[in-house]
Structure 1
């Protein structure tokens, strides 16, 4: 890694998922939008402001996505630290997030999340026993933007229960179908036993 970044951690001017999809159109490797934006792609509308944009890729595919995002300086992010990666560096095994800095604009554009699954299988990073066929874990909007299924996003959000996470769950709950509810409830039982959301499901 190179010297620490001087760009403030809150200097976000995130792309819209459509812009990310446009830039990654030539990458023939699995990726999908994650976080709050994934829920809004599922809803079909922007239900709240988003300070960032997260997307997930397979760790082994990092070099393909770095090549698809010229003009961005990549940084390993973890435990409150954000450190630039050199042009030939790959993120250390303990790093699961790579923040992408638009050098010309002086802001962060997107957060690249590294996962250890396989092209055909999505694996939950906090409990590898929780996994799904990627064809079930990833959905697509009408215009082809890939996003992580809502029940999976909510499982990630269940750990923190920040105000926005509670609001996202409340907004999503009436729209979850029976299969989505069952999967989320089973995931909560494994990852977060006795979670309050389980009763609502």
Structure 2
């Protein structure tokens, strides 16, 4: 059977995190929302528009989440190349993103990102020497949606410093507790020495 063609890379019409959580009901492996949506779940309200929705899973758990996400087709994304991922196939070690295509509406719904770590430990993908207990790094909303906490999100966003990343940093900064500021400052120093966010913390 011929697989569907990938639409344009910007053909995003994302689910809300609530929709993703509903689809993953019953999955007992670690996952959490990341990116800008994670910060808004942490804030408790939406601070800006989001062009996509990202969530992370452990690499070895990818088949479990593929099975749970009914009605979508999967494509690997890396280096600007988006390729169909056949059912039952594994992804290369160099790939860390799998885009989920809603065939009926011909649009991307969610970006499933594979990450290092274990069910007990969160490992920073930008600097794998940074390891923390997963229970410390992942929060859960009142409605049960898991999300990566703000300091870790900002550490991941620091690499690119796009306009939206700068907005997210400025918006989150006043709410960060001292321990979170200290951890973020130290982690930025280890990962991006001289980063201009460090002096603002």
Q: What is aligned with 1:30?
A: 30
Equivalent position SS for 1:122: strand
1:117 aligns with 2:147: no
1:164 aligns with 2:161: no
Q: What is aligned with 2:141?
A: 141
Q: How many residues align?
A: 200
Q: What is aligned with 1:54?
A: 54
Q: What is aligned with 2:12?
A: 12
Q: CA deviation at 1:105?
A: 1.0
Q: Deviations over 1:57-88 (max 9, x none)?
A: 00000010000011110011000000010011
Q: Deviations over 1:94-148 (max 9, x none)?
A: 1000000001111000000001110100001121101110000100111110000
Q: What is aligned with 2:128?
A: 128
Q: CA deviation at 1:17?
A: 0.2
Asked if structure 1 preserves the Cα contact closer than 8 Å seen for 2:63 and 2:88, the reply is: no
Q: What is aligned with 2:190?
A: 190
Asked if structure 2 preserves the Cα contact closer than 8 Å seen for 1:155 and 1:188, the reply is: yes
Q: What is aligned with 1:177?
A: 177
TM-score normalised over the length of structure 2 = 0.97
Q: 2-side partners of 1:171 and 1:109: how far apart?
A: 26
Q: Deviations over 1:155-195 (max 9, x none)?
A: 01100000000000000000000111011001100000111
Runs of 4+ in 1 over 2 A off after TM superposition: 2-6
Equivalent position SS for 1:196: coil
Q: 2-side partners of 1:30 and 1:5: how far apart?
A: 30
Q: What is aligned with 1:40?
A: 40
How well do the aligned residues superpose, as a CA RMSD in angstroms?
1.2
Q: 1-side partners of 2:104 and 2:182: how far apart?
A: 46
Asked if structure 1 preserves the Cα contact closer than 8 Å seen for 2:29 and 2:61, the reply is: yes
Q: What is aligned with 1:93?
A: 93
Q: 2-side partners of 1:172 and 1:63: how far apart?
A: 34
Q: CA deviation at 1:3?
A: 7.7
Q: CA deviation at 1:5?
A: 3.7
Q: 1-side partners of 2:87 and 2:93: how far apart?
A: 17
Alignment of 1:69-88 (within 5 A): 69-88=69-88
